[in-house]
Amino acid sequence: MFIRSVIAAALVAAGVVAVPSASYAATASYTPERICGPGFHRVKDGHRAMVTKKGAVFGHVYLMYNKRSGKNCVAAIKTRYTGVRTLTGAYLEVKKGGKSMDQQKYKYYAETGHIDGAWKCVKYGGWTTNPSGDVAASGGRTLWGNCAG
What is the predicted pLDDT for the residue at 149?
59
Q: Which amino acid is at 76?
A: A
End-to-end CA distance of the chain: 50
| Amino acid identity for residue 5 in this structure | S
Question: Does 103 or 12 have the greater pLDDT score?
Answer: 103
The whole-model pTM stands at 0.81
Contacts of 38 (CB under 8 A, 6+ apart): none
Nearest to 107, CA basis, from 23, 38, 35:
23
Position 17 scores a pLDDT of 38
Tell me the pLDDT tens digit for each residue of 1-10: 434 333 344 4
